[in-house]
Amino acid sequence: MARKIGLYGVLAYLLFGLFFYWYLFYFADSTLPFEYQGSQADPAVFLNERELFLSEEYSRIRYLLYFLATPFEWIFYLIILLFGLSKAFKEWSEVTAKKKWLQTAIYLIWLSFFSFAAMLPFSYISYYLSKSYHISTQTFASWLKEELIDFWLNYGMTFILVSVLYWLMKKSTKRWWLYAWLLSVPFTLFLTFLQPVVIDPLYNDFYPLKNKELEAEILDMAQKADIPANHVFEVNMSEKTNALNAYVTGIGSNARIVLWDTTLNKLSNEQILFIMAHEMAHYVEKHIYINIATSLTFSLVGMYLTYKLMNWAVVRYGKAFNISAVSDLQSLPLFLMIISMLLFMSGPLSNMISRYQETRADRYAIEMTQNTEAGITTFQELSRAGLSQVNPPFLVKFFIYGHPTMLERISTLEEYKPKVKESEDEGN
């Protein structure tokens, strides 16, 4: 049974990978529809031939890497179960320590180390790819440091979550999923609150915007939008990347508007003000809180489905997986595999919600700045800096894109031009 499950799992993974390789390199067509050719959304208008070629090549490889890495995680956890490694991890932890919490910590060290080692090649390929196409400027030492920070942060949080989760499983075999979700609500809010001031500074240096004239303009916009902001932060990202970005993070008093220094170095003030108006829209329209509520709703459904699927899997494949009960710590790889699969399947819906919010934010920026040309040139520069496809294939957009495509964003701005002109004429 175990051999058959493993064989079918590997075959399914290979077929999955071959399908997306064929789709991305032979079937999918990123050519712009005829009506957009020659417009400002046409990459041939604002990219040279080499940039066009590199953006297509880089995007395809990057997308393929995503579609290979995600299901590989499922295969990894399946192998851990089928080969009895999860059982071995538990036995080693019981031999090493007597206290339950310490046994859990030791089990997790083994599982986390094997998981880190299994996924490290994908992380390195992603880093090497970005470096080869001159998007990343990060040194190998800096990249490895971040990987290790990720490892220990994830290990610490996973230890807390797993300890509580399996305690709940033992206390309530039928309601553990609900109690676990209820406890995740304050934990999620706490992490979101801490993100800007505790977690983010572990990776990068943040400081108030040095350009005080620009900061004054941004804060003036914030005041008009009734945003209680006293500072705009910039982060030193030029040591790691040539890509451009800005974002809003945190909640309550810890909410921050952040600009990458690469954005400050490569864009004009008008373009930066357009980006800031876009980011302010997320605050004004409460997108951060909506996203937290959406995430918690998804996690409630996800925890219930995980509960049902784990019970079914243990009853049907418990012997092959070396799992005697759901509450047995050996079932953790099964739990993580199911969660990963559910996240992948819920991704398209999450992306759709995110794309709607980003579209709203773009329109807010247009109305606030009345500067569609700044928006168009900003999106063109973002495409160039990140070597991103203007019109990605449908399945890529469906599974990966949390933003509208550059084709959609630039064409929307072009359509708004007449409206902006009419508004200016009325004002005169």
CA distances to 93, 148, 158, 203, 284 from 153, in Å = 21, 9, 8, 12, 31
Helices (H), 330-371: 332-369
**CB proximity list for 111: less than 8 A, separation 6 or greater:** 80, 86, 89, 332, 333
Phi then psi for residue 325, to 5 deg, are -155, 155
To which residue do tokens 């997308």 refer? 63
Q: Which residues of 262-285 are buried (b: 16+ CB within 10 A; e: fewer)?
A: bbbebbeeebbbbbbbbbbbbbbe
SS3 165: helix
Q: What is the token pair recorded at 396? A: 């890529």
In sign, the C-alpha dihedral spanning 366, 369, 371, 377 is negative
Q: Could you give the CA distance from residue 9 to residue 344 in angstroms, rounded to a whole number?
A: 17
Q: Which two tokens stand for residue 421?
A: 């002109």
CB neighbour class for 80 (10 Å; exposed up to 12, middle 13-18, buried from 19): buried
Question: Any idea what DSSP says for residue 324?
Answer: S
Task: Order the strands of the 233-235 sheet from edge to edge.
Answer: 206-208, 233-235, 256-260, 246-249
Spell out where 91-231 has E strands: 206-208
DSSP assignment of 16-39, as one string? HHHHHHHIIIII---PPPGGGTTS
Structure token digits, residue 273: 């003000």
Residue 358 known to bind ligand: yes
Active site residues: 279, 362
Cβ–Cβ < 8 Å for 55, 392: no
Q: Is the CB of residue 369 less than 8 Å from the CB of residue 231?
A: no
Neighbours of 219 (CB within 10 A): 19
Q: Which parts are annotated binding residues?
A: 278, 282, 358
Q: Which parts are annotated binding residues for Zn(2+)?
A: 278, 282, 358
